Structure 1
Amino acid sequence: MTEDTLLPLSFPAVGRKKVTAAFDGGRITSDGGVMLLAAAERRLQLADRLAAAIHDPRDPARVTHAMADILRARIFAIACGYEDANDLDRLRTDPAFKLACGRLPDSGIDLCSQPTCSRLENLPDLRTVIRLGWVLVDLWLSSYAAPPKSVTLDIDDTLDVVHGHQQLSLFNAHYDERCFLPIHIYDAATGRPVAMILRPGKTPTGKEIRGHLRRLVRRIRARWPTTRILIRGDSHYGRAQVMAWCENNAIDYLFGLPGNKVLQRLVDESADDIRTRRALERKSVLRGYAETRYKAKSWKAERRTCARIEATTLGLDIRFVVTKPPMQRYFNSR
């Protein structure tokens, strides 16, 4: 009969003390995974970078918890599923959280409490919030050893339901919820986050989207002046103001486009051909592409419009995009 032995897990030392995770008793924590988060944060220096963007008005002689320590505790708590700042009143003595924040579980001072954390969250003004946003962008830029020839940035918003009447929360009829609707921008090639923008729970206007993209592209081109940039998003990001700005600033774009009778008529011939060939070849699915020129009422000029036409035994499924670059490679990557 074999006897299993659980090997301990070793982590970086804290205060010259060896840190090992074992399964044989001692002070217990239910959040051992925070040590892995701490290793990742230490490598990225995320809390230190964020702290450097915040002006600390406190008297240094009376500071117990440095700005980076407060941020680190709050980040780890949120990542472990503790959304509310008052959870820190319990977590501040948790041995795993203390180790993750660089403090010994018994002799190290406890982490910050809820009031300290709440004061931090109400401290930043608009300029500080913008600087904090640049930290994430700069982390993404630094993830590349050299400027790439091109990048594809996916932009979208996501539902963040609120429970109460928080500032900037609004009722969104599409989701039938009171919510925030933050904008997320990701690097399509790596999946890494590029920017996150917390905003009210309403669909962004073309002017708002253009402003966010203008600031982001300016930051990217300061480091990567020759990199070709493609912005990719759903139809409500393909506003006339956004496309005009992209065209005037050498930015490629690929935005969804809602179908209508005019667009359907423009691709009727291609759709009939694909539908007929599918039937003759007795295939379950046949996909093809079509390209045309189209001008919506809000556009000042015609733009290149492409259609992905998919014929199945159930009928036709046609999706449209308005775009500048070659369309097939981007249809296939969605």
Structure 2
Amino acid sequence: MLLAMAERRLGLADNLARVFPDRRDPTRVVHSLVDMFRARMFAICCGYEDADDLDHLRSDPAFKLACGRLPDTGRDLCSQPTLSRLENAPRLRDVIRLTYILVDAWMDSYPREPASVTLDIDDTCDVVHGHQQLSLFNAHYDERCFLPIHVYDTEKSRPVAVVLRPGKTPGGVEVRALLRRLVRHIRTRWHNTRITFRGDGHYARPEAMAWCETNGIDYIFGLSGTKPLARKVDEVADDICTRRAIENLPVLRGYTETRHKAKSWDRERRTVARIEATMLGLDIRFVVTSLDVGSAEWIYDSLYCARGQAENLIKLHKTQLASDRTSCRSALANQVRLVLHTAAYWLMLTVRDAIPKVRELAAAEFATLRLRLLKLAARVVETSSRIRLAFAAACPEADLIRCLPGALLPLGP
């Protein structure tokens, strides 16, 4: 029921159904698109990520009640074959519209246009066990896989977009195309927001950086070290190594910056180096950025290293909501699955955000929320005038469950 209130607060199922093609005969429709989306999202949130789990859950009183049906006398929910047809129904344009609904959900989460946002972009290995469309063998992971791109507003822990793609490192043209489409959609509503993209070395492509500079978008990307680049920081690196040895320190870290132009770049760009000397040797890491403010230490430690939180969010997405269950043969169907799993992420995040900050569950992972708040034993009683939910007298989170419905009420117009 908490998930149902979170979904109605966000309106995700209605928004997805609005752009989803429904080519069924209206006179024979038993399960509406909204009901099917809700059933699938609620099942994912509760740890039932496979569509065939709905063959048993379709008659569950709590799931029926969450989807707006009477728990005993109401019609059962949709089954696995119906959901499989749902995932395979949309065409390419329809799938793109579904993906943009998630971007809209992220923008709707702000009460007003923000002055600036920092978006983390990263790809992750999604191992496949067949020959699905777009699956490729990746030598780094030693697996046949997809490498979907995840974009997060890490400061708020909110997902922005997830895009299925082949199991290879993204090229410059592909990265530029992704950034262009995402920014173009954001600019339809946010005209003045300063956007900064942050990512690892996969995204430090000359095509992407040149496009960002032309369109007023900031970036900070990891950068692979080269001999010409290393020579520009040799003097600072030697000084750090010498001071570490003289002072007999286990670790000494320093920062510097330079202007660098790689062979494939059309201009010089600001490059920041983090130099760390240890008893085992020297370690130098580089980032390239369009930002002209802040010290080298702030750029690297405070701004760039904050992208590590995005990897934790991807782990939540993959391991606790099982978004790597992309087992459909069609790439479009697998993208629909990613959309549904990301929608489920929004529901879990909304429930967690509604928990008072003084409670330990306010910072809990999704798996903990599932065990403590969602998958609880209860007696569902349907009478002619009302429906009663009876929890155990010793329910440890009874007071929290009692106050959450008020926090999850739909927002006013």
Please, which runs of 5 or more residues in structure 2 have no aligned partner? 306-413
Cα deviation digits, residues 228-281 of structure 1 (max 9, x gap):
111111111111110111111111111111112222211011112222333444
Q: Does 1:331 align with 2:300?
A: yes
Q: Does 1:189 align with 2:155?
A: yes
Distance 1:328 1:267 in 2: 15
1:298 is paired with a residue of what secondary structure?
coil
2:133 is paired with a residue of what secondary structure?
coil
Aligned-partner residue type, residue 17 of structure 2: A
Which residue number corresponds to residue 268 of structure 1?
234
Counterpart pick for 2:217 among 244, 251, 258: 251
Distance apart, 1:38 and its partner CA = 2.7
Aligned-partner residue type, residue 236 of structure 2: S
Give the 5 Å matches for 1:183-332: 183-325=149-291, 326=293, 327-332=296-301
Structure 2 CA distance for partners of 1:116 and 1:306, relative to 1, 3 Å? same
- TM (norm. structure 1) is 0.85
Distance 1:232 1:269 in 2: 28
Q: Which has the higher contact order (CA 8 A, sep 6+)?
A: 2
Aligned-partner residue type, residue 290 of structure 1: T
Q: Which moves more between the two structures, 321-330 or 62-71?
A: 321-330
Distance apart, 1:282 and its partner CA = 4.4
Counterpart pick for 1:51 among 9, 13, 17: 17
Distance 1:286 1:225 in 2: 44
Distance 1:98 1:162 in 2: 33
Aligned-partner residue type, residue 298 of structure 2: R
Distance 2:297 2:184 in 1: 28
Aligned-partner residue type, residue 92 of structure 1: R
Distance apart, 1:286 and its partner CA = 2.7
Distance 2:147 2:194 in 1: 28
Q: Which moves more between the two structures, 99-108 or 263-272?
A: 99-108
Distance 2:298 2:108 in 1: 27
CA contact (8 A) 2:272 2:300 kept: no
2:242 is paired with a residue of what secondary structure?
helix
Cα deviation digits, residues 114-166 of structure 1 (max 9, x gap):
12111111111111111111111111111112222211111001111112222
Q: Which moves more between the two structures, 261-270 or 292-301?
A: 292-301
Cα deviation digits, residues 289-318 of structure 1 (max 9, x gap):
111122222212222211011223333221
Which residue number corresponds to residue 104 of structure 2?
138
Please, which runs of 5 or more residues in structure 1 have no aligned partner? 1-34
Which residue number corresponds to residue 81 of structure 1?
47
Counterpart pick for 2:65 among 86, 96, 99: 99
Q: Which moves more between the two structures, 95-104 or 318-327?
A: 95-104
Which residue number corresponds to residue 66 of structure 1?
32
CA contact (8 A) 2:123 2:149 kept: yes
Q: Which moves more between the two structures, 318-327 or 131-140?
A: 318-327
Which residue number corresponds to residue 179 of structure 1?
145
Distance apart, 1:81 and its partner CA = 3.0
2:74 is paired with a residue of what secondary structure?
coil
Distance 2:238 2:258 in 1: 16
Distance 1:284 1:91 in 2: 57
Distance 2:64 2:133 in 1: 32
1:189 is paired with a residue of what secondary structure?
helix
RMSD (Å), alpha carbons? 1.6
Aligned-residue identity in percent: 70
Count of residue correspondences = 300
Structure number with greater Rg is 1
Distance 1:280 1:46 in 2: 61
Cα deviation digits, residues 165-192 of structure 1 (max 9, x gap):
2222221111111111110001132121
- TM (norm. structure 2) is 0.69
Which residue number corresponds to residue 120 of structure 2?
154
**Richer in helix (by share):** 2
